[in-house]
Every structure is written in C-alpha cells, then in structure tokens.
Structure 1
Amino acid sequence: MVNHPVTGLLAATVATIAATIPATDATTSTQLQLPRLLGSYPVGTVNLEVTDHTRTAPSTATNASTNSTEPRRLMVSVFYPTTNATAKNGNASKSSNNSTYQRAPYFASATSAAAFDTYLGNATTLLTNLATWAYADAPRAAANASVLLFSHGLGSSRLLHAAFLADLASRGWIVVAPDHPYDAWYTEYPDGSVARMPDAALDDFPNELPGLVDTRVKDVTFLAGLLQSGSLWRGLSTSSTVDIGILGHSLGGNTAAQTVARSSSSSSSFPCGANFDGGIFGPVATTGLDRPFLQIGAANHNQTTDATFSHFWSVLHGFRRELTVNSTVHQSFMDLPVLRDVLGDEFPVDLRNQSGTAPGARLLQIETTLVDAFFRFCLTKTASSDDFDRVAKSLAPDIWAREFW
C-alpha cells in the first residue's frame, strides 16, 4: 500500500477502529501469549494522567465542546526496565503482605470495550485475557536509562503498540507513549471520562493535519519538559540532562520529524528521530534536518512510490537511512501482526489483509532491533553508524536499504 500522507493515515484510522478493544484487569491467559521480550531486562509499566495547564483541549473536539476551555489532559503509558526480582517466577513481592506485581493487561480498561467490540466480535472475549510481559507499577531498575518518546498514528492509540513498546524497554530504554487526545480514537482517563476522535475530524482532515501535528509536537515537548524536571513520574527520577529521542508511526512519524526540527541544537531532547511509514509534509519537508533521521517504510512505500519520501531524502543533511521491510503494509507497524498471530483463525479477515504477511514475532524483532541500534548510535553514543549498518544488514533479506548495501 502506498502511504500517501492523507490516504495512508485514513486507512490507519479504519484499521484502528476495527482493532482496538480494552480488557479487564490484569488476567494472564494460559492460551493467548504475546511473543516473549527479546531484551535482557524485565519490564515494568505504568499509566499516568498529566495535564498541561498552558494549553486547552483543541477546537477539533467538537463532540466535547464543554472541554474546549479545559486544560490539555494526556494519558501516557511508560515502559521501563525493572528489577530481576520483579519477574522472578512471574511475580515478585510488592510489600510485606505478599501482594504481587501482576503482568499488565494489553488494554488498559474494560469500560471502553463497547466502543470497539462490534468490530471484533468473539475476538473481544479472547483479547480480554491477553496480558503484556510488563509488570504493572513495578519499580524501575536502578540502572540509568535514556528515554524514547513514541507518537501513534492518526486515529490510533498508544495501546495498539504495547508489545512493541515493552520490547523496546526490555532493551534498556525508558519508553514514554502518550495518546494525543481527540486525534487518538479513544482515550480514557482515570476518572472515567473519555476523549474521542470526533466524527467531524475527518471531514476536512487534509487541511487539519498541520494543526494536528503542531498540537502533537507541543504534547511531546511538554512531556520532555516533565522528564527533564523529574516530574513526569516519581518512579523515573530523570534529570535535566536525560537524553530523549523520538519516533512514531504514520502521523506520529511526521510528528517525530517536526519535533527534531524544532528542537534546540543545545538541548539533550530530540537530537535524532525515526519515522515508521509516515508521509512527510509541513515545514520539515522543505527545511529538512541536519541531524540523524531514520526512515522505515512498508514494502511498497519508498521514494519511488511516495514523492514526500523522495524530497525529504534530498533535504536530510545529517546521517540518513531509508529501510524497507518486506511483506508489510502501513498498519503492520502497529501490533496488528502480533495480535493476528495470537488470535489465529479468530482474527478478523478484513484486518488480516491490513496487517501484511510478515510473522508478528519476526516483525517485532526487526522493529525493535533497528530502533535500539539507531538510538544507541545517535542518542546515547554507545554505538557507531557502522554498528547500525551492520545490525541492519544482519536483518536481510527481510529488509532492504537504500544506498548503503
């Protein structure tokens, strides 16, 4: 599928509407299991609500006009390395009364299930028992970790990337993933209130996209400020010098590019970024970047099929790589291939066609291996560009790269 910055995003929205269902509290299924984490760290996770009092809910929140003067509220999932004790025998002591850390459910809450269960039918019941490999509210490991901020696609949700985000954390990263309310399909807050993507949002959405990206950039910049002040979550204890990279899928990939472009060259925030299959438009498409940037596209999405990729390549003046992942389509870079393989024949046929044919576990390995290697090079400086290239080449023939092999 060619990922035009408009049509590709709309397709992602349709896929998300069909795919997203929340689940009950942490219940580990003995029948349904996500792929095991590939990194060396066990993983903890927490869901947070944070409020930016300097901004209000966007005017596009036409289905919740009473919120238009309220401050911007974000729901954020954080995945992070936890202690080995947490994962011992699947659980660990949380207090003297022998309570335990449980594996977090794949979806954060059951109360929003009605918004999605008509699309998945019997699969809804199956997925309510699906747990991640991340332990809810577990303590963060003492080792220092750099931060990756992840931005989801238009009409999607942070929840539909949980397997990917947890696997990144298992490689040593703190991963922070917000929902972008009102262009996320469905965001639920701890008080039970909900921010939905309004039906009218797609009526003129090509003209809405620049404004949506601007709001998203402000979202992630706000979160970076909380991370640098150590106030996002007391369990993280981050500082003003914390290294922060950014990546995203679809509109989130464009958000990553725009955020890197706006970041100060003297800041530890956003010195490099990565885009999973998002069309490039807006100011960064013209001004380009002088910092490292990674483009990862679906099988039929490259400079030949997308003029935005071709032009963007010409204005990338720092380290640049463009990789194509075989047997994928635009929505493959959500968790859909993993959920497809978990559910087997219960996975809806129409979504099967929108998830590509790459095996879910292998695709997860490719994605997190590339992201880990790239940010070790450009963010933490613990690897070289040659190291990244060697890692990428090791994933052939499932991927191919432009110009460096």
Structure 2
Amino acid sequence: MISVTLANASAGAITVTSGGAAVAGTSSFNASTGVVTFSPTSALQRAKTYAVTATANGAAVSGGAWSFTTLPNPAIMARTPASSATGVLVNAPITATISNASGAAITVTTGGAAVAGTSSFNASTGVVTFTPTAALGFSRSYSVTATANGAALTGGTWSFTTIAQATRSSSAPAANATNVNPTGLTITATLSSGAQAGAITLAQGTTNVAGTSTYNASTRVVSFVPTVTLDWTKNYTATVTANGGAVTSGTWSFTTMAKPDQVSLFTTGTPTNPNTTTVQNMNAGTRFKTSAAGVVTAIKFYKGTLNIGTHTGYLWNSAGQQLATVTFTGESSSGWQTATLSTPVRLTVGAEYRVSVYSTARVYAATTGGLSSVVTNGPISTIATGGAYSYSTGYPSTTTTTKLWVDVIFDPDN
C-alpha cells in the first residue's frame, strides 16, 4: 500500500509508474483524514524503482512526486556444506544463509530420492536449516535446493559428498580379551585413514560407564578413560563412532580379571568345540575342591557364538544341595562370561563341590578328555573325572572326563 496525507484537499489521487509504465491499482481518498491511498492490483516486484505522483483537487501538489526502490531479490550468502564439498561428516549441518528473505526452505535428495527431514527458517538471522530424520549415508552424493519466499534462488542448488565409513583396525583391550586388568585402564581404538571426530562409549550390560573420550586426529586413535576404575570380573562392551556415524567392526567386548587374590581353575586355552550341541537343555559343570579356606564370589562359563539362550549358574555341595544360584546378564557374544553371586559362599577345605551352568540353547563348550586328570591353580583343583552334567536345572550328578568349561572365582582368606 502506498499513501500520502494531503492538507486542505477535498479530493486526492495517486498514480504509480515503473520504467514509464503505469502500475495497475486503485486510488482512494479519505476526506476526513486527508489520506490518499494507492493499492496495487498485484504485489510490487522486488529490486525495482517506482515513481509516485499525488494530486489534490485535480491539480499537482507541491512535493507530490517521489520515488522508492523495493527490496532486492533474496540471495544466498553462505552454504554449509560448501558447494562440491567432499569428506562431509554424515551428521554435518545443512544450512543456507539468505538475505532479504521472509521465508525459506531446504530440500535434500540423493540418487533422485528425497531425504526425509525437517526444514526450519530463522527470520532474524536469515539462516535456513535442514535436519535429516536419520544420519546421512557414507560415501554418498547429496543435492541440496534452497528456496526463498516460495521461489527458486540463483545458486540455490548445490551438492556435496559424505565421507567414507571408518573402520576399527585395532583396539586395546582386544576384542574378546580376558583377564584384563581394570586398574588405570584406558580403552583405545585405532581407526582407518580418513576418520574424523571419533568417540568411544563403554557399557557394562545395559548401563553406560561414565568417562571421557578424546580423539587424536594425527594418529587416528580414540581413547576412553573411565571416571572410576572398572569392576573386577565384569564383561564390558565398547563402541567407537567416527565421521558422525557407526564404524565398521566398531563394537567389541572384553572381560576384566579377577581380583589379584582371587583364582579360577581355567586361566588358559579355549574349548576344542565351543558350540557342541545336545538334544536337550544341559546343565554343564565342573567338580572341584579347595585346599585353603575362602569363598566363591562368582560363577563363570565359556560361551560359544551359538550359545545364545538364557544362562543360570549354580553352586552345589557333593550331597546335591544347592548353595547358590545366579542368572547371567550383560553377556558378550562369545568368550568367558561371569556372574557375581549376591552373597559369597564359604567352602570347606577338602570337600567336593560342583559348579554348573544351565543353558536353554542346547549348546555347550567342550574339550574331550580335558578333565581326565586333575587341574590345579593355587588353592583350588578339579577332581579326577572332573566334568559333571545333568539335563535339568537339578544337581549335575553324571560325571565325565570332558572339560565343560564351567568355573568359579574363588577368594581365599588372607
């Protein structure tokens, strides 16, 4: 709307031209206020100069002619990522800064398909932002189109390519490592070339471990330092991310060692067959005794990759009385698993005990003949024909020389 206030006028009118051509519109006069108004039939164009002439009582008015220029067309001032950028992180922001815009939007496509996401515009800063619903893909080309005030923009379409997915080439502790000393432990992962902004998270079961993650871009090593020392005889899962997303082989597990004054029967070796199958659920166990006073604090078993069922540990005396039971949680996919007893069980020196783990997967670890002779580690030892099993959750009464890879953590008295 274009207006002017006239004094001492009984009638008034406004005409508007641009480039010598009349602008279509309607002129009206309010005699009580002296305001004459011109309403264009359609919106004025941007970046144009308009000449206005006001008349009163059918005659020219002193100062009744003036001109003005409309706002310039919207223009892109900056883009993120830059046009033709490569190696862009998959979580990088997608933005455009646009001048002289009252509204703006961004759409993104890849391979001709629209990328799901939300576009938002900040009128005070002129920044329009596209937030994808999910992280972008690795090693992909994306096309971005920005519009302003519902119309296309000069330079409003550009493209960029995301970075390749990183790979974990090594880690410390190594995947499936056992007997890891938790004291002063720093978890690290070395990533493949091209990795950026790496980070590590650590969990014990479903609980995240507090700590600080740092990344050295020159060595491509990601480090995680726990806020407090990790627990003994626990399985931990580490996950490294880089370049804004997941990393190939980016998740691995390790198990911390028993407290230095604690011992287990089987500290070396792996099963000949970690995935032995059976037609029934099996309660696999080991017969053992101690030569020193102390307590059993935890039950362990070696898990094969196919042993994916629920696992319950039991401790028995030789009379078949159940002394303790515990359900395993937070397991890794394979290797030694440990479950801590809610209350340690005190053993009698020289008496036979049996420790067993019942699995619902009908899979167990085995080494034929592995317990045909006595195995000793410190104060604890197996008994000749040291394997034991049953096909129920009850006492593993059947004995065997097969090593079934079920163990305890024994804490001798000082």
Superposed pair shares fold, TM > 0.5 = no
| Richer in helix (by share) | 1
| Richer in strand (by share) | 2
| Higher RCO (C-alpha 8 Å, min separation 6) | 1
Instruction: Give TM-score, length-normalised by structure 1.
Output: 0.21
Instruction: Give TM-score, length-normalised by structure 2.
Output: 0.21
Which of 1 and 2 has greater Rg? 2
